[in-house]
Amino acid sequence: MKLDLNADLGEGFGAWRIGDDAAMLGIVTTANVACGLHAGDPAIMRATVLAAKDRGVAVGAHPGYADLAGFGRRAWPGMTETDIENLVAYQTGAFAGICALAGHPMTHVKTHGAMANAANDDDGLAMAVGRAIRAVDPSLAYFVMPGTPTERAAEKLGLRPIREIYADRTYADSFNLTPRSRHDAMIHDPDEALERILRFVSEGRLVSQSGKVLQTGIDSVCVHGDTPVAVAMAQRLRTGLEAAGIAVSA
């Protein structure tokens, strides 16, 4: 079996940096790079893409809401499908330009934070994300959450879906992520994260916090790059997956 290991990177801004991107790029096989609205800027984007190129790590656009102060994790009620199309196309197009400068082509798009949560709960918004991706480049893959509107949107639009699960997050019954406001939303122990991922992979299913089961295949595992245990968790996952006979590659 083969699995991708991805992380959300390039999430600093100006003189400020978040997470240890250099260490993460030595572990993960795919980087989702912030595109300047929830985090990131042109210089950070280009530096991150160049570093990923040097490490042989695939890169994709990581668009979010225009909310630097809230790191893109605050809900924006009232966002229309056109609003989402504009935001995703704008950021994906900008990232495509940075990738052209760096000589390292973009492979996919993965929405960030509150935008991703909204799309995973709403078929119309999920389709809007997909339409924006397809308009910029129909060969780009669409990172999706299994069993949610984003997976259905990718299939309807003819985009290649990459089914992603999170090593450091728990799941609600909708198979969207458990809200961060809940005490059980995050997983901080690398060993616990590895155990959960190996179980998901071996059983071919996701399990929500209440015990609801979704039978699904899995293509990629994410570790958030901005947490204090990100590097340790990513390293534990890579080592543990490979020890279990699972090839880790983009």
The DSSP code sequence of 45-56 is HHHHHHHHHHHT
- Taking only the tens place, the pLDDT of each residue in 4-30 is 999 999 999 999 999 999 999 999 999
On the question of pLDDT at 197 being above 90, the answer is: yes
- Taking only the tens place, the pLDDT of each residue in 28-55 is 999 999 999 999 999 999 999 999 999 9
Q: How confident is the model at residue 192 (pLDDT cuts 50, 70, 90)?
A: very high
Mean pLDDT in residue range 158-181? 91
Angle in degrees, CA 119, 116, 224, rounded to 5: 160
Pair of tokens at residue 247: 């090839």
- Taking only the tens place, the pLDDT of each residue in 70-79 is 999 999 988 9
Residue 67 has what DSSP assignment? -
Number of domains in the chain: 1
CA distance 54 to 98: 15
Pair of tokens at residue 176: 């969207």
Contact 171, 178 (CB under 8 A): yes
Pair of tokens at residue 163: 């089914």
Q: How confident is the model at residue 188 (pLDDT cuts 50, 70, 90)?
A: very high
CATH of the domain at 101: 3.20.20.370
On the question of pLDDT at 225 being above 90, the answer is: no
- Taking only the tens place, the pLDDT of each residue in 88-147 is 999 999 999 999 999 999 999 999 999 999 999 999 999 999 999 999 999 999 999 999
Q: What is this structure's pTM? A: 0.94
Token pair 């780009």: residue: 140
Question: Could you tell me the residue range of the domain that residue 220 belongs to?
Answer: 2-248
